[in-house]
Amino acid sequence: MADSERVGITPKSWTTQLHRGVMHLGKRWYVVSAEINESGGADGVRLDGPYPDHESAQAEVNRQQQGQSQA
């Protein structure tokens, strides 16, 4: 996917697949999951949480990624 084809604010490193990351909103941490399509937009975005700190949110990302790789 070329930069000129990207849409929105999706990071350049996110390719056409499911991505997860940690986001801080207010005083809480959340896990963000997004399915990036061919045009660089998000077909589906999910926000899980809140988590009390960055470490617990990151642990959830790691758990979800392990579950995905075993599927």
HEC letters along the chain: CCHHHCCCCCCCCCCCCEEEEEEEECCEEEEEEEEECCCCCEEEEEEEEEECCHHHHHHHHHHHHHHHHHC
Residue 68 has a pLDDT of 75
pLDDT along the chain (71 residues), means of 10: 50 70 92 83 86 96 84 62
**pTM for the whole structure:** 0.66
Residue 11: predicted pLDDT: 61
Amino acid at 19: H
| C-alpha to C-alpha distance for 64 and 30, rounded to whole angstroms | 13
Cα–Cα distance for residue pair 10/38, rounded to 1 Å = 12
